[in-house]
Amino acid sequence: MEKRILVTGAAGQIGSELVPALRERYGKDAVVAMYHHNIPENAERPYEIGDATEKETLDNIIKEHEITEIYHLVGVLSAKGEQKPALAYRVNMASLMNVLELAKESENKPKIFWPSSIAAFGPTTPQDNTPQHTILEPSTMYGMTKVAGELLANYYFHRYGIDIRSLRYPGVISWKTPPGGGTTDYAVEIFHEAIKNGKYTCFLQKGTYLPMMYMDDAVRGTIELMEAKPGDIKVRTSYNFTATSFEPSQLAEEIKKHIPEFEMDYKPDFRQQIAESWTNSMDDSDARRDWGWKHKFGLPQMTEDMLVNLKRELKGS
Ligand code: SER
């Protein structure tokens, strides 16, 4: 059957890079981007506008485009979710339930990708090299929606045979798209400020380790997971998925190798507590064993690539 892909949350941090990557791989017309409101100026067709929490809207789009795969990326992230917990619950859960129910009801049962996150972990989770199967007692609303979503994914797979696959994304870093309302956002902001002003005030404390990944790896890994043979996918909740782990001062030191005058100070805010509740590093050996996950970018490679591309980008703007 011909692949027809729907990407919800197409204007988000992951979506805005996954859509072009999927179009490059499967053809432009095979990928329908779904936007909520903020349609990017350069949005290319085919796209649809709609609210994924409205089941009928989603149903119509899936039917009209004869969708065979859904990357359901809609989500309110961790920091914004703590400011608007009820909104995070509603958007994250209602949209996911819609996608799962529509997949269940449809004849051709679309394959689904849904992102979980390190936010599924919490203060009681082992902090270092966190295992695949571990304690999931998050303290943020965002994290709660991720744990519930992981269990729903597993349930819809076993009970209804929906081929749903998921990754626990670490902080994702990119020069193309700014993140929106997350706790790992500092690791992107720092590059912008280093290039523009030579200094940055970090909202996380020195020493706050978090698992991280460059966007190129995140996009490639996501597509590889979706292309893996169904029998190779042994984890139907969500795979630990990581490349590296660092804390703010290590990133600052790496940037200094390229911009020696760069300076950083610290002014932790409410996001510090969120970051502390997450793990320092993740063991993703199940993903590496089951479907061959392999990252390419560590901290030095990522820093260099970010600076080269972002400098060029900011010059042009
Ligand atoms: N990057 C996300 C956040 O900080 C983690 O899923 O919210």
Residues 6+ apart with CB under 8 A from 295: 213, 214, 217, 221, 242, 243, 244
Domain regions of the chain by residue span: 5-171+214-240, 173-211+243-281+296-316
Atom of ligand 1 nearest to the CA of 171: 1
| pLDDT at 317 (0 to 100) | 64
Atom of ligand 1 nearest to the CA of 184: 4
Residues 6+ apart with CB under 8 A from 196: 314
Q: 174: Cβ below 6 Å to ligand 1?
A: no
Task: Identify the residue whose C-alpha is closest to ligand 1 atom 1.
Answer: 171
At the topology level, CATH places domain 5-171+214-240 in: Rossmann fold (3.40.50)
Answer yes or no: are the C-beta atoms of 148 and 94 closer than 8 Å: no
DSSP state of 202: E
Answer yes or no: are the C-beta atoms of 216 and 279 closer than 8 Å: no
| pLDDT at 41 (0 to 100) | 87
Residues 6+ apart with CB under 8 A from 297: 213, 214, 216, 217, 243, 244, 305
At the topology level, CATH places domain 173-211+243-281+296-316 in: UDP-galactose 4-epimerase; domain 1 (3.90.25)
Distance 62 CA to ligand 1 centre (A): 28
Strand partners, 130: 282
Instruction: Tell me if residue 220 falls in helix, strand or coil.
Output: helix
Q: 182: Cβ below 6 Å to ligand 1?
A: yes
Q: What is the pLDDT of residues 251-288, one digit of tens each?
A: 999 999 999 999 999 999 999 999 999 999 999 999 99
Distance 57 CA to ligand 1 centre (A): 27
- Region of 150 (left: φ > 0; alpha: ψ -120 to 50; beta: rest) is alpha
| pLDDT at 84 (0 to 100) | 97
Q: Within the chain, which residues score under 70 in pLDDT?
A: 317
Distance 146 CA to ligand 1 centre (A): 11
Distance 307 CA to ligand 1 centre (A): 22
- Identify the CA nearest to 168 among candidates 301, 293, 253: 293
CA dist 60 and 3 (Å) reads: 18
Q: 92: Cβ below 6 Å to ligand 1?
A: no
Strand partners, 245: 211
Contacts of 55-60 with CB under 8 Å at 24 or more apart are 55/98, 55/101, 55/102, 58/8, 58/95, 58/98, 58/99, 58/102, 59/102
- Identify the CA nearest to 200 among candidates 248, 247, 244: 248
| pLDDT at 193 (0 to 100) | 97
